Amino acid sequence: MVKRSWLIAALTLCLGLVADAQTQYILELKPGTDVNSLASQFQFTILKSWTSTAEQGYKISATSLSADSIGMLRDQPGVLDLEPETQLSEPESDSQSKAKATLQALGAYALDPTRVSYYGATVRAGYVNQPAAQLIELSAAHQIASTGNSTVAIIDTGVDPNHPALKQSLLTGYDFTRDQPGASELNDLDQSTVAILDQSTVAILDTILYPVALGQSTVAILDQSTVAILDTTKLPKSFGHGTMVAGLVHLVAPGARLLPLKAFQSDGTANLSDIVRAIHYAADNGSNVIVMSFTFDALSPDLQAAVSYAASKGVICIAAAGNNGPGKYYYPAAIRGVIGVGSTNFSDRRSPFSNTEPSAATSAPGEAIVTTYPGNNYAAAWGTSFSAPLVAGAVALFQQIRPRWKSGDMRDVLDAGVHIDQDMGDARLDIFKSLTYCLVPHD
């Protein structure tokens, strides 16, 4: 494997990627390399480790390494890469590109408090019958591919493990921010706030809108009685993001198993090493699809290597294209082999905030999308963060018919959707049309 250190200088200079005082690093070694010998020679401490068939990975602390020593360590036999550990956070978007929610964009479907049965769970009617589901022909698709049986890993802020719509589909997952099993994003809240979210609520549209930082999305909580006693200004800015992403995967593929992997804090920050570990964990623990509803403006060599490792194991990687306007490179969406997803409105036009090619290889609805929110609540969401899980769920359905097809094949399947000319690949997601393509013999 070629060493990837040539990208380190560019990585450490980019906005939103902040090196941890240049004392912590991600060290990747060839399998079988003696890390303890290197630690003794270069006087570093191992903080965390992970392994795969491709590499041994370590997060190390090296407070006394000089620039020369770093170069010497990078050149040691068996060293694949040495990259500064970084704390990742989304840079703020400008007022023109930020996803904006308006109550006018929410129709009667979002106001409807009726609860209905959906594959064994009782859910909000507007979640099942929303325009986005109709646009992608979800009901017709379920007549062809049932409900999916893949495992979809969700690398995000975690999930509400007790949400009635999701709990029957959730696997235990893992919290990389705390290094413990389970991936509850409720652990990021104080107990008084959790108690408010856990109580029963009346589903009535509320006017409070607040930003969710992962992808600069926008969210409106749909439960007035919750918001009336919940000070949303005290909620971490990305709280609920993972539960919302999980809800959309489940909407499309209710038979899929959801593997929540918490790599992000609820304030929207994450260590690069935790994201890398999460990708390896997903690939090594039976995931068929990984959805990553986050974007960064610099390519990390270790992130690229982790995605390549997942692809080598047949995992399909889906990522949000980003909400900072058209024509920009954002990662992981722009990494080769990843399917980046842009956002469209209900008229099949590109959402004003959505990125385009080269980061968007396909598109799906991403405005006024109703999904799950912690505490048996629901929210309406805007952003490519919520287009990506629709595609991830669709791929889980495709795999029920074509379980061995890889990323390039799945891009062809997605291209069989509704053709639009919006610089986001060849088509907007139409699951029924794509499943019909899957049923036709292909050489």
Of the candidates 113, 337, 319, the residue with the CA atom closest to the CA atom of residue 204? 113
Q: Do 68 and 129 belong to one domain?
A: no
CATH number of the domain enclosing 50:
3.30.70.1140
Residues spanned by the domain of 32: 5-88
Give the model's pLDDT for residue 249.
Answer: 98
Phi, psi dihedrals of residue 193, rounded to the nearest 5° = -70, -40
Domain count, the chain: 2
Show which of 55, 88, 121 is a domain's final residue. Answer: 88
Taking the CB of residue 443, how many other CB atoms lie within 10 A of it?
2
Give the model's pLDDT for residue 338.
Answer: 97
Tell me if 296 is assigned to some domain.
yes
Phi, psi dihedrals of residue 82, rounded to the nearest 5° = -135, 115
Show which of 88, 120, 155 is a domain's final residue. Answer: 88
Ramachandran sector of residue 343 (left: φ over 0; alpha: ψ -120 to 50; beta: rest) = beta
Q: Do 82 and 123 belong to one domain?
A: no
Give the model's pLDDT for residue 104.
Answer: 55
Tell me if 381 is assigned to some domain.
yes
Q: Do 207 and 80 belong to one domain?
A: no
Give the model's pLDDT for residue 169.
Answer: 97
Q: Do 64 and 170 belong to one domain?
A: no
Q: Do 272 and 391 belong to one domain?
A: yes
Tell me if 269 is assigned to some domain.
yes
Tokens 């965390």 -> residue: 48
Q: Do 148 and 52 belong to one domain?
A: no
Identify whether the C-beta of residue 292 lies closer than 8 Å to the C-beta of residue 155.
yes
Give the model's pLDDT for residue 196.
Answer: 61
Tell me if 94 is assigned to some domain.
no
Q: Do 51 and 172 belong to one domain?
A: no
Phi, psi dihedrals of residue 347, rounded to the nearest 5° = -105, 15
Q: Do 40 and 126 belong to one domain?
A: no
Tell me if 93 is assigned to some domain.
no
Give the model's pLDDT for residue 15.
Answer: 27
The answer to whether the peptide bond before residue 358 is cis (omega within 30 degrees of 0) is: yes
Tell me if 373 is assigned to some domain.
yes
CA distance linking residue 67 with residue 73, whole number of Å: 10
Tell me if 95 is assigned to some domain.
no
Q: Do 151 and 231 belong to one domain?
A: yes
Give the model's pLDDT for residue 64.
Answer: 75
Tell me if 397 is assigned to some domain.
yes
Q: Do 138 and 256 belong to one domain?
A: yes
- 405: Cβ contacts below 8 Å, ≥ 6 apart: 398, 399, 413
Q: pLDDT tens track of the chain, all 443 residues?
A: 333 322 222 222 222 344 444 689 999 999 999 999 999 999 999 999 998 888 899 999 988 778 888 899 999 999 999 999 988 765 434 333 344 555 555 777 877 778 999 999 999 999 999 999 999 999 999 998 789 899 999 999 999 999 999 999 999 999 999 999 999 999 998 776 766 665 433 222 232 333 333 445 556 666 544 444 444 556 788 889 999 999 999 999 999 999 999 999 988 889 999 999 999 999 999 999 999 999 888 888 999 999 999 999 999 999 999 888 777 888 999 999 999 999 999 999 998 888 888 999 999 999 989 999 998 888 888 889 999 999 999 999 999 999 999 999 999 999 999 999 888 888 999 999 999 999 998 86
Q: Do 333 and 367 belong to one domain?
A: yes
The model carries a pTM of 0.87
CATH number of the domain enclosing 239:
3.40.50.200
Identify whether the C-beta of residue 346 lies closer than 8 Å to the C-beta of residue 364.
no
Q: Do 313 and 366 belong to one domain?
A: yes
Identify whether the C-beta of residue 330 lies closer than 8 Å to the C-beta of residue 15.
no
Give the model's pLDDT for residue 22.
Answer: 63
Show which of 88, 115, 130 is a domain's final residue. Answer: 88
